[in-house]
Amino acid sequence: MAAIELRTAIPGPKSLALMARRHAAVPRGPFHAAPVFVDHGEGGRVVDVDGNTLLDFTGGLGALNVGYANPRVVEAVTAQARRFLHTCFHIAPYEPYVALAEKLNELTPGAFAKKTLLLNSGAEAVENAVKIARYATGRAGVVGFEHGFSGRTLLAMSLTSKVMPYKLGFGPFAPEVYRLPYPYHYRSGIADEGAFVDAAIAEMKSFFQTHVDPKQVACVVMELVLGEGGFVVAPRRYVEALNALCHEHGIVFVADEIQTGFGRTGKMFAVEHYELEPDLITTAKSLGAGMPISAVTGRAGLMDSVHVGGLGGTYGGNPLACAAALATIAELEEKNLAGRARALGEILRRRLAAIAARDPRLGELRGLGAMVAVELVKDPKTREPAKELTGALCARCAARGVLLIHAGTFGNVIRFLLPLTLSDAELEEGLDVIESELRAL
């Protein structure tokens, strides 16, 4: 039986009425990938207020690796809600916070003693990783990447690369933020992979002469696979060279695993593909299966450098969110959802490669595990980004019951953030829709 079931046009009359209220009451700033209001969800499916069932291939923007309304997570949150919702960890601590810290210390790569700080959002995790790195090193400089995304608060936004919509009009930005070019092969103009990596490493070394001295840099914040930047996978040799440079100069290496984490790449964390042991790891999104929670996990000595009272917040590590995260991790481990990500990734690649063989607008297919994206171009030779096509494809797929999200600095990448609980049949059904809409465009 088909998963998608449309009973009205998308959006239906109830969604339209709610959207009118939304526009009257809420500023236009927050965007929507789809024009439907959700009633409930299960696994990879959402049912809207008009009774339409849609497939969500954005996984609630990357937060739902264990799917909508995962029963184990719902049960854990409900049980915690009956006991207490909040105390504030600074007022009176509680066990779930400690249990989650223990679990993340054990789960994250790095054969050294670790500690974990819990927060509310991805941006807050990045901000705190930078605070800790600055405190521990006594240095101010922070190095991010072109095409990188770190969130929307002042420091995170300063690190974020893409101007529109994230930065335009919101300055001045935080000082002492520097930006390395991301090793983005497809747009490098260098055909040979080895030559491209050599050039990228040379550029990285010269950056520390022409932009900032390494001795002034507290940390480098890197997404090993760009999230909002369009799922560009950093070459292993580049990452090793950067990590070696960080070690040589006492720079804290922060791996931002907010989008890559919790099985999406086919391993629990993307750093495992690189056999990298970062000093600090930031996590959020699929950590909480939709509950707002994030973490900074890393070397105990670094984490402990900050004085008592220097880190925290009213809600950081909220008990409901901790219960959700513990249940999420148990679910990921027991159901081997990282293995499932590899299987889903194979289907995605096979289907998209078949489409690309006939349709030259699919300029590049890339990713790790189920973290797969396709970059759409107007012409495979010029590689001019096909932003309008990408937007139109997302809109048309939503109208046919498949929620998609674009990515990339040029807005021309379709990225798949599948709930890893999706069945093969559901994935194939959604891909059929994408294929037919691409053909129609």
Ligand X SMILES: *Cc1c(COP(=O)(O)O)cnc(C)c1O
Q: Show contacts with ligand X in window 204-223 (CB under 6 A).
A: 223
What minimum distance in Å lies between the beta carbon of 156 and ligand X? 7
E-strand ranges in 81-174 read 114-119, 141-145
- The secondary structure of residue 234, as a DSSP letter, is P
Q: Tell me whether residue 149 or residue 238 sits nearer to ligand X (CB atom).
A: 149
Q: For residues 387 and 411, is the Cβ–Cβ distance under 8 A?
A: yes
185 or 285: CB nearest ligand X = 285
Give the DSSP letter of residue 374. Answer: E
Q: Binding of ligand X at residue 233 (CB under 6 A)? A: no
Q: What distance in Å separates the CA atoms of residue 204 and residue 207, rounded to the nearest whole number?
A: 5
User: Which one of the spans 89-97, 236-244, 254-262, 394-402 is the region binding ligand X (CB under 6 A)?
Assistant: 254-262
Classify 56 as helix, strand or coil. strand
Q: Does 417 bind ligand X (CB under 6 A)?
A: no
At 420 the three-state DSSP class reads coil
Per-residue binding letters, 260-299, with ligand X (x by CB under 6 A): ------------------------xx--------------
Q: Do the Cβ atoms of 222 and 234 come closer than 8 Å? A: yes
Closest contact distance (angstroms) between CB of 154 and ligand X is 12
- Orientation angle between helical segments 236-249 and 193-210, nearest 10 degrees: 20
SS3 annotation, 256-271: ECCCCCCCCCCCCCCH
For residue 245, what are the contacts with CB-CB under 8 A and spacing of at least 6? 204, 205, 208, 214, 251
- At closest approach, how far in Å is the CB of 257 from ligand X? 8
Query: Site map for ligand X, 112-151, x if CB under 6 A?
Result: ---------xxx--x----------------------xxx
Among 52, 128, 137, 259, binds ligand X (CB under 6 A): 259
Cβ 160 to ligand X shortest distance, Å: 8
Residue nearest to ligand X (CB): 122
Minimum CB distance to ligand X, residue 285 (Å): 6
CB of 420 within 8 A of CB of 63? no
Q: How far is the CB of 349 from ligand X (least distance, A)?
A: 22
Contact of 341 with 265, CB cutoff 8 Å = yes
Nearer to ligand X, 234 or 438 (CB): 234
> Is the omega angle on the peptide bond into residue 165 within 30 degrees of 0, that is, cis?
yes
The amino acid at residue 307 is H
* Contact between 316 and ligand X per CB under 6 A: no
Applying CB under 6 A, what is the total number of residues that bind ligand X?
Answer: 15
Q: Can you give the binding site for ligand X, defined by CB under 6 A?
A: 121-123, 126, 149-151, 223, 227-228, 256, 258-259, 284-285
